[in-house]
A and B are shown apart, each in its own frame.
Chain A
């Protein structure tokens, strides 16, 4: 069964709206989670590293004020796309590792398709 849950799976909203995406680790506590973005027919690009109890670490070129990340607990990280515009339309996917399972792979959520009209 899924070990990382991502919600919602699909969002369609008007330009200017803020959208929150949740990523939950179901069976383990994740001090670190990762947010990726994937444009159609392209690869996954890391946006930021979400750190529980501290500020997120953003990759170069990612606007921290536009993509707000909150990792308030060991099982939940949220990504908020603020004042979304059509160019923010993309597939967003989160991942988490299991601190106690060093031989386990990085687990991914099922992703969120964001469409801004």
Chain B
């Protein structure tokens, strides 16, 4: 069975601060995929990143960066110079071996990020 833990329930920062959202996962599979999604108050899920278990390279996309470390089973997400528009719930998720038809995701409990002026 898979499990995703997001220990931070809520984080509040002031605009322009950097913030890191933690994600720790558990799986016995050697091939798996990790995701981060953003859920704004409107409810839709916005895809941010997908990373497979064989690619431990860190990734940067604008103000977003991700640190994947298999040794600690962590896939942390950092927002640099946070903005009010970053306020949302962020979910980390895990699936094992994507098949042609897609695969079900196991979600963490989410981290509510509040960015204030």
Contacts and interface: CB of A to CB of B under 8 A. Distances in A.
Interface string A59-93: 00000000000000000000000000000000101
Interface residues of A, number: 29
Given A44-B91, A105-B47, A106-B35, A34 B102 contact: yes
A25 B44 CA distance: 16
A43 B44 contact: no
Nearest to A97: B102
B107 A111 contact: no
B83 to A, nearest CB: 23
A107 B101 CA distance: 11
A75 to B, nearest CB: 13
Nearest to A49: B104
B100 A105 contact: no
Contacts of A97: 98-103
A96 interface: yes
B107 A110 contact: no
A35 B19 CA distance: 31
B44 A108 contact: yes
A30 interface: yes
B62 interface: no
Contacts of B103: 97, 106
Contacts of B107: 43-45
Contacts of B91: 43-44
Q: Chain B CB within 10 Å — which of A46, A106, A108 has the most?
A: A106
A38 to B, nearest CB: 8
Q: Chain B CB within 10 Å — which of A97, A107, A111 has the most?
A: A97
B11 to A, nearest CB: 15
